[in-house]
């Protein structure tokens, strides 16, 4: 799903001209879809996506509105469409792609640091609460965040100016690494970290299912926050075993509690207390389960 994406704040004149040609095919609070006819009769009409996000609103909640407003308008629930649309919306907000993505990171990190443990119906509030919980559970002086995606958790640890009211985790961690299979995401996170001069956080492309993940080394705390649900069930134990090999003190696993896997985000399996504890007991007798914005498994050496 690759519609031409326009930001009203940048392309108001074009959008007004488009609207004069006809009503949108579909619309919601934040989005409108138009069909743009070509002057060449051999070319099919092009789908145009218009969004109304201001620069201050470009943060990870764009994904929430894509998932809950835009994908239904488009009649799709594919993860590939979700990821493409989020990226297209962010990039459309500025002629400089770097500036657009850095604004996305700045806004998201500031919003994540502001939230408390209250329940929110978006992406920022629950993950802000989840990341606070991780910070309170972290042990030692080094951390690996596996399946880091945009790298928000490692970057929050590195943003000591944002964390004064959370915990002292940012002060005690001297080595912070995020890893993910997606090269584009790792490039974005590394570029932002370097640009903001965060010296003790870095990001690496790594497959936790592969033996070469050993090159990452070991860490006092290893986190897998909303990672396991993205794996095929047959690969779950291998992933947990590999994460355990990277762990010196504590492995922290958090998963959503769903009745069925959500295809919009690439979820392939679901977990409950019994299944998580069974994984933990295979690793160590020192494991416990609790629920907070999903299910959690803590496993200690």
Would you list the domain boundaries of the chain? 4-93, 115-300
Per-residue tokens: 128: 């802000």
Specify the pTM.
0.92
Which has the closest alpha carbon to 271: 238, 207, 213, 228? 228
Quick one: which of 206, 204, 141, 205 has its CA closest to 169?
A: 141
pLDDT per residue as tens, the chain (301 positions): 789 999 999 999 989 988 888 899 999 999 999 998 877 777 888 899 999 999 999 999 999 999 999 999 999 999 999 999 999 999 999 999 999 999 999 999 999 988 765 555 689 999 999 999 999 999 999 999 999 999 999 999 987 655 545 554 445 788 999 999 999 999 999 999 999 998 889 999 999 998 888 999 999 999 999 999 999 999 999 999 999 999 999 999 999 999 999 999 999 999 999 999 999 999 999 999 999 999 999 999 9
Q: What is the pLDDT of residue 170?
A: 47
CATH of the domain spanning 115-300 = 3.40.50.150
Find out whether 283 and 251 touch, Cβ atoms under 8 Å: yes
- Residue 171 is predicted with a pLDDT of 52
Predicted pLDDT of residue 169: 46
**Residue 228 carries which DSSP code?**
G
Q: Which helix (H) or strand (E) holds 108?
A: helix 97-114
Burial of residue 50, with CB atoms counted within 10 A of its CB: 0-12 exposed, 13-18 middle, 19 or more buried: buried
């Amino acid at each position: 799903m690759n519609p031409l994406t326009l930001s009203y704040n940048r392309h108001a004149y074009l959008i007004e001209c488009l609207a004069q040609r006809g009503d949108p095919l579909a619309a919601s609070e934040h989005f409108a879809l138009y069909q743009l006819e070509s002057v060449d009769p051999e070319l099919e009409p092009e789908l145009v996506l218009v969004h109304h996000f201001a620069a201050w609103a470009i943060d990870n909640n764009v994904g929430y509105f894509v998932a809950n407003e835009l994908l239904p308008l488009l009649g799709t629930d594919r993860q590939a469409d979700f990821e493409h649309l989020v990226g297209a919306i962010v990039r459309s907000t500025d002629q400089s792609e770097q500036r657009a993505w850095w604004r996305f990171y700045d806004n998201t990190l500031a919003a994540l640091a502001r939230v408390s443990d209250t329940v929110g119906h978006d992406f920022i509030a629950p993950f802000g609460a989840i990341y606070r919980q991780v910070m309170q559970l972290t042990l030692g002086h080094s951390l690996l965040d596996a399946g880091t995606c945009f790298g928000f958790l490692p970057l929050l640890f590195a943003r000591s100016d944002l964390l004064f009211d959370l915990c002292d985790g940012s002060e005690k961690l001297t080595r912070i690494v995020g890893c993910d299979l997606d090269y584009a995401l790792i490039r974005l996170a590394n570029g932002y970290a370097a640009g903001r001069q965060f010296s003790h956080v870095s990001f690496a492309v790594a497959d936790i299912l592969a033996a070469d993940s050993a090159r990452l080394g070991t860490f006092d705390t290893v986190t897998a926050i909303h990672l396991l649900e993205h794996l095929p069930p047959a690969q779950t134990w291998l992933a947990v075993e590999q994460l355990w090999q990277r762990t010196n003190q504590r492995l922290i696993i958090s998963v959503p509690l769903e009745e069925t896997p959500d295809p919009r985000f690439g979820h392939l399996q679901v977990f409950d207390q019994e299944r998580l504890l069974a994984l933990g007991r295979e690793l160590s007798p020192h494991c416990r389960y609790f629920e907070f914005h999903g299910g959690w498994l803590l496993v200690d050496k």
